[in-house]
């Protein structure tokens, strides 16, 4: 609405970043975060170096995304491009898994396992290693650029860069044989895309982990926004129990005037340890990634003061309402089970079982036939009608397999190939398909003049101990009407 | 406008704008965000300088790097041709009968031949090489002038009855009816005889009378057994393949007026490597004949080498 009065003071269009110097803390959640960090980084850096014996015809890297040959290896599982639905299924499971986790324990993904969180945490430990804890870091930040500061910054950023480079370097190992690629990389023989990928990932890790940090979560990432929509009053979030803490007051004041102040002594330890610099006592916010370090910090203070822990704690909004009304706190484990989490678990499990079943029952041998359509048929000099087909025999096992292809139906039909001469045409032929390959065969099928257009089958049978096979129905074109 | 206040639920200041009760909260962007905007502007200026960007009256600025989509295409084509060079040289160096079916070189040559076929041959022989009336099918096992890779290469290079090529394959069937060599009744009888050879007509009186006419007039080229001769490109008249149609009327028309189909001598238009690849492609279509060792010269080689 129009108002003649001009704005009294200009709005701030842009916000200057307030640097965050989180304090080191110890406690149950910090130790859990250490564990998750070791696990996630360990899995990321070590996985490409695991070996897995697949015999002489397949790579021996346990996890390998072989883009050049369009194969995806994961331990005993090998996936071809047409089986990519397994990966799609895993992605759907990952999505529903996130719904499940978010519904149960809020932004646990943000707080513990998100790469941005893990690498930021790692870089903040580097800060502490080189510059010292929170106060020392703040002093150094404010200090003039003396030789000592330049040296410290140099060392720190060099470590940043080293971690970033290692991170980028580990990524490409998933796409080629890791030991070979490492040698190729350092001798300049790797593909340009390998160097480019390492360069880009080194730069992003260095920038996002070393400098952008919480800015990524607050301004760049869409996930906190989406996650907010998935939380409800039954989800566990990190909560400051204001009905217990307020009004804040010092220990002295509490001793002097019992009952007039709450448990919060306004020590600001919860803010000091927060990796995004947020004050949880202001309530839930997009800045709170629910890493729970403030719980550790507050518990430590409460223990020192001889007060019960959990002034800041994981709690659902429902629990908060009941506690505020005087109810007793509910154990966290009970909060995990409610309708939504159970439904998500059921869906997640059903998809998982479905994928496992599909994996167990998938066929490793396959025939696909494509008929030449131009011309649909041609006549031989002896009057025979010839149809041409491209028959693809797929051997998805990591060893060569002898296979037999037979014509089923089509009376009088005979076939030959580029390898089997015309005068040796037969109703069945045997080929050995190389390990992990598709063998395309040109098959020429003839039937006596007068044969009506009809359908017949190519039957594929594996001629080894494992057995198995497949059938493909195709058309035989000829002059005249179909019977 | 300046109706600023603190929004109760969020504790955030409003910017003072209000539209029908909807207010805008002041959650400012970080300072670095605006720097990324400036960076994109700087990038855009640099982009306009080095790449073609500003439209002028007849063309546009060319940019410092001189890039153009046509230039990129030319460079990519050049690179592709250079990449093919080694293969083409290997095909050029190998005599056609030594390129074994199934070998890597053979597969590459067939692929190259397929592309050349689509450019040069499909107009007459059809996209699937099934031929048309007067233009033979290249998929069957019936060859007028020889069906091994070397013969096919010769045919493509010199053509058939090509006026510009001295080495072209040539023969001429007389117009028996039109030139009055045979009477219409004789033509009719010889057609009946020819059709009876492949069982398409009964061996009746007309056919029996045609047999003598055949021996006197036709056997010199088509052979006493009517199985044709590759030396003259005379077709086998006992099989199921009829280049100009196998009905009685069509055969009568062929004997009366004769046919002399022409194929250009591609040696004048295409380079030898392309022709070699074309020959291998045609040979690969399912009707190609094996190369027989110690061949006689193409002109002297007689037909019926194939079972």
Note which residues in 191-230 of chain B have CB less than 8 A from chain A: 198
Q: Nearest residue on chain B to A372, judged by CA atoms?
A: B128
Question: Whole-angstrom Cα distance, residue A194 to residue A68?
Answer: 13
**Residues B262/B159, Cβ–Cβ less than 8 Å:** yes
Query: How far away is chain A from the Cα of B49, in angstroms, using its nearest Cα?
Result: 25
Q: Are residues B278 and B134 in the same domain?
A: yes
Taking an 8 Å cut-off on Cβ atoms, the answer to whether A380 and B141 are in contact is yes
Whether residue A347 contacts residue B100, with contact meaning beta carbons closer than 8 Å, is answered with: no
Q: Which of B6, B16, B30, B122 to mutate to test the interface with A (most CBs of A within 10 A)?
A: B30
**Taking CB atoms and an 8 Å limit, are B126 and A375 in contact across chains?**
yes
- Mutation site for B-interface testing, chosen from A277, A371, A382, A417 by largest number of B Cβ within 10 Å: A382
Domain that includes residue B191, residue range? 184-257
Contacts of B139 in chain A (CB under 8 A): 375, 378, 386, 388
Q: Which residues pair with A443 in a beta bridge?
A: A389, A417
A11, A198, A373 from A181: Cα distances, Å: 54, 12, 45
- Scan for tokens 């394959």, then name that residue: B169
| For helices A178-186 and A147-172, angle between their N-to-C axes, nearest 10 degrees | 130
Judge if B163 and B224 occupy the same domain: no
- In a mutational test of the B interface, the residue from A210, A213, A377, A378 whose CB has the highest number of chain B CBs within 10 Å is A378
Residues of B in contact with A449 (CB under 8 A): 240
What is the domain partition of chain A in residue ranges? 15-362, 365-476
Classify residue A91 as exposed, middle or buried by CB count within 10 Å of its CB (0-12, 13-18, 19+): exposed
Residues B144 and B274 placed together within one structural domain of the fold: yes
Interchain CB distance below 8 Å, B15 and A11: yes
Are residue B138 and residue B268 in the same domain, yes or no?
Answer: yes
**CB-based contact B2 A11, cutoff 8 Å:** no
| CB contact at 8 A, A378 and A386 | yes
Q: What is the pTM of this model?
A: 0.78
Q: Which residues does chain B have within 8 Å of residue A373's beta carbon, measured at their own beta carbons?
A: 128
Say whether the peptide bond before residue A262 is cis (omega within 30 degrees of 0). Answer: no
A6 — contact with chain B (CB < 8 Å)?
A: yes
Pairing between strand A14-15 and A63-66? unpaired
Q: What is the Rg, in whole angstroms, of the alpha carbon atoms belonging to chain A?
A: 33
Chain B contact set for A441 (CB, 8 A): none
SS3 state of residue B234: strand
Tens of pLDDT along chain B (307 residues) come to 456 788 877 778 888 888 898 888 888 888 888 899 999 999 999 999 999 999 999 888 889 999 999 999 999 999 999 999 999 999 999 999 899 888 899 999 999 999 999 999 999 999 999 999 999 999 999 999 999 999 999 999 999 999 989 999 999 999 999 999 999 999 999 999 999 998 888 888 999 999 999 999 999 999 999 999 999 999 999 999 999 999 999 999 999 999 999 999 999 999 999 999 999 999 999 888 887 765 444 444 444 444 4
Chain A, nearest residue to B128 by Cα: A374
State how far Cα A451 lies from the chain centre: 57
Q: Which of B15, B44, B67 is the last residue of a domain?
A: B67
Residues of chain A with pLDDT below 70 are 1-12, 482-483
**CA dist., res. A40 & res. A335, Å (int):** 26
DSSP A441-458: EEEEEEE-TTPPPEEEEE
Residues B199-235 have pLDDT tens digits of 888 888 999 999 999 999 999 999 999 999 999 999 9
Q: Which residues contact A390 (CB under 8 A, 6 or more apart)?
A: A369, A370, A372, A440, A441, A442, A443
Co-location of B100 and B29 in the same domain: no
In this structure, are residues A147 and A22 in contact, taking their beta carbons and an 8 Å threshold?
no
Determine contact: B29 vs chain A, CB below 8 A: yes
Residue B127 forms contact with A (CB below 8 Å): yes
- Which residue of B33, B127, B142 is in closest CB contact with A374? B127
Check CB contact under 8 Å for B286 and A388.
yes
Task: Assess whether B270 and B137 both reside in one domain.
Answer: yes
User: Hey, is the C-beta of A440 within 8 angstroms of any chain B C-beta?
Assistant: no
Contact A15 B30 (CB under 8 A): yes
Q: Does A17 touch chain B (CB under 8 A)?
A: yes
Within this chain, do residues B16 and B31 fall inside the same structural domain, yes or no?
yes
Say whether both B81 and B161 belong to one domain. yes
Q: CATH number of the domain at A365-476, please?
A: 2.60.40.10
The answer for A 90-119 residues in CB contact with B (under 8 A) is none
Residue B227 in any domain: the answer is yes
Is residue B304 situated within a structural domain?
A: no
A1, A14, A423 ranked by CB distance to B30: nearest: A14
- Do A14 and B28 lie within an 8 Å CB cutoff? yes
Query: For position B230, which CATH number holds?
Result: 1.10.760.10
> Which 3 state secondary structure label does DSSP give B237?
coil
Residues A72/A185, Cβ–Cβ less than 8 Å: no
For position B294, what pLDDT does the model report? 54
Q: Determine, for residues A379 and B140 on separate chains, whether the beta-carbon distance falls below 8 Å.
A: yes
Closest chain A residue by Cα to residue B198: A382
Q: Which residues of B touch A6 (CB under 8 A)?
A: 2
- Tell me, yes or no, whether B140 and B275 share the same domain: yes
Closest in A11, A15, A383 to B31, CB measured? A15
Question: Pairing relation of β-strands B29-30 and A14-15?
Answer: parallel
> How many A×B Cβ pairs under 8 Å?
98
Smallest CA–CA distance, residue B9 to chain A, in Å, is 11
Question: What single DSSP character describes residue A64?
Answer: E
**Distance (Å, whole) CA A459 – CA A405:** 6
Across the interface, whether the CB atoms of A12 and B28 are under 8 A apart is answered yes
Q: Please give the tally of structural domains in chain B.
A: 3
The answer to whether residue B137 neighbours chain A at the CB level (below 8 Å) is yes
Tell whether B165 and B75 lie within a shared domain: yes
B193's tokens: 């005889």
Interface test with B, best of A211, A214, A379 (most B CBs within 10 A): A379
> Cβ atoms within 10 A of the Cβ of A198, count?
21
Identify all chain A residues contacting B10, using CB atoms and an 8 Å cutoff.
none
In angstroms, the CA B123 to CA B132 distance is 10
State whether B272 and B148 are in the same domain. Answer: yes
Q: Give the nearest chain A residue to B25 (CA atoms).
A: A11
């Amino acid at each position: 609405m129009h108002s003649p009065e001009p704005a009294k003071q200009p709005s701030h269009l842009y916000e200057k970043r307030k640097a965050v110097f989180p304090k080191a803390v110890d406690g149950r959640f910090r130790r859990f975060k250490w564990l998750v960090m070791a696990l996630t980084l360990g899995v990321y850096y070590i996985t490409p170096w695991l070996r897995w014996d697949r015999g002489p015809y397949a790579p021996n890297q346990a996890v390998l995304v072989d883009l050049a040959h369009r194969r995806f290896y994961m331990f005993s599982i090998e996936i071809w491009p047409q089986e990519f639905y397994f990966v799609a299924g895993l992605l759907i499971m990952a999505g529903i898994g996130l719904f499940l986790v978010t519904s149960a324990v809020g932004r646990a993904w943000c707080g513990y396992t998100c790469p941005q969180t893990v690498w930021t945490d790692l870089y903040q430990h580097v800060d502490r290693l080189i510059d010292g804890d929170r106060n020392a870091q703040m002093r150094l930040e404010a200090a003039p650029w003396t030789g000592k500061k330049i040296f410290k910054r140099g060392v720190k950023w060099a470590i940043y860069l080293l971690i970033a480079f290692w991170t980028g370097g580990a990524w490409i190992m998933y796409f080629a044989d890791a030991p070979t690629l490492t040698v190729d990389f350092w001798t300049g023989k790797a593909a340009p895309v390998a160097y480019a990928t390492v360069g880009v990932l080194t730069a992003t890790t260095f920038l996002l982990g070393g400098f952008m940090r919480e800015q990524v979560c607050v301004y760049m990432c869409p996930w906190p926004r989406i996650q907010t929509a998935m939380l409800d009053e039954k989800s566990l979030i990190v909560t400051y129990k204001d009905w217990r803490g307020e009004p804040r007051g010092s220990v002295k004041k509490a001793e002097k005037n019992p009952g007039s102040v709450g448990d919060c002594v306004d020590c600001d330890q919860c803010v000091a340890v927060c990796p995004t610099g947020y004050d949880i006592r202001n309530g839930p916010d997009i800045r709170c990634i629910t890493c729970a370090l403030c719980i550790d910090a507050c518990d430590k203070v409460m223990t020192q003061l001889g007060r019960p822990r959990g002034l800041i704690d994981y709690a659902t909004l429902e629990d908060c309402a009941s506690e505020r009304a005087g109810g007793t706190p509910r154990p966290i484990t009970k909060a995990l089970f409610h309708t939504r989490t159970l439904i998500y678990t059921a869906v997640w499990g059903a998809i998982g079982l479905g994928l496992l079943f599909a994996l167990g029952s998938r066929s490793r041998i396959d025939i696909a036939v494509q008929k030449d359509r131009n011309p649909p048929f041609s006549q031989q000099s002896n009057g025979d009608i010839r149809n041409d087909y491209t028959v693809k025999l797929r051997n998805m096992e990591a060893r060569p397999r002898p296979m037999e292809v037979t014509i089923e139906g089509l009376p009088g039909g005979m076939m030959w190939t580029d390898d089997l001469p015309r005068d040796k045409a037969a109703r069945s032929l045997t080929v050995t398909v190389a390990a992990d390959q598709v063998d395309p065969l040109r098959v020429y099928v003839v039937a006596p003049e007068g044969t009506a257009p009809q359908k017949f089958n190519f039957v594929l049978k594996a001629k080894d101990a494992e057995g198995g096979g497949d059938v493909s129905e195709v058309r035989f074109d000829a002059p005249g009407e179909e019977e | 406008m300046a109706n600023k206040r603190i929004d109760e639920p969020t504790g955030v200041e409003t910017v003072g704008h209000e539209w029908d009760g909807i207010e805008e909260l002041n959650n400012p962007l970080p300072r670095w965000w605006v720097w990324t905007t400036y960076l994109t502007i700087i990038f855009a200026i640099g982009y306009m300088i080095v790449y073609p960007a500003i439209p002028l009256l007849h063309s546009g600025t060319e940019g410092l790097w001189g890039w153009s989509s046509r230039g990129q295409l030319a460079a990519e084509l050049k690179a592709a041709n250079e990449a093919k060079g080694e293969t083409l040289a290997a095909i050029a160096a190998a005599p056609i009968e030594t390129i074994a079916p199934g070998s890597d070189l053979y597969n590459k040559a067939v692929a190259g031949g397929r592309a050349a076929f689509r450019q040069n041959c499909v107009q007459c022989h059809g996209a699937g090489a099934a031929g048309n009336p007067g233009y033979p099918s290249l998929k069957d096992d019936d060859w007028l002038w020889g069906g091994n890779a070397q013969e096919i290469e010769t045919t493509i290079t010199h053509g058939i009855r090509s006026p510009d090529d001295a080495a072209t394959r040539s023969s001429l069937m007389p117009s028996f009816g039109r030139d009055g060599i045979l009477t219409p009744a004789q033509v009719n009888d010889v057609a009946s005889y020819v059709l009876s050879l492949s069982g398409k007509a009964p061996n009746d009186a007309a056919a029996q009378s045609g047999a003598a006419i055949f021996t006197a007039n036709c056997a010199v080229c088509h052979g006493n057994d009517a199985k044709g001769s590759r030396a003259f490109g005379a077709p086998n008249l006992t099989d199921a393949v009829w280049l100009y149609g196998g009905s009685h009327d069509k055969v009568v028309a062929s004997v009366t007026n004769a046919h002399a189909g022409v194929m250009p001598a591609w040696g004048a238009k295409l380079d030898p490597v392309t022709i070699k690849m074309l020959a291998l492609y045609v040979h690969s279509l399912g009707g190609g004949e094996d190369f027989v060792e110690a061949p006689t010269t193409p002109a002297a080689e007689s037909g019926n080498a194939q079972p």
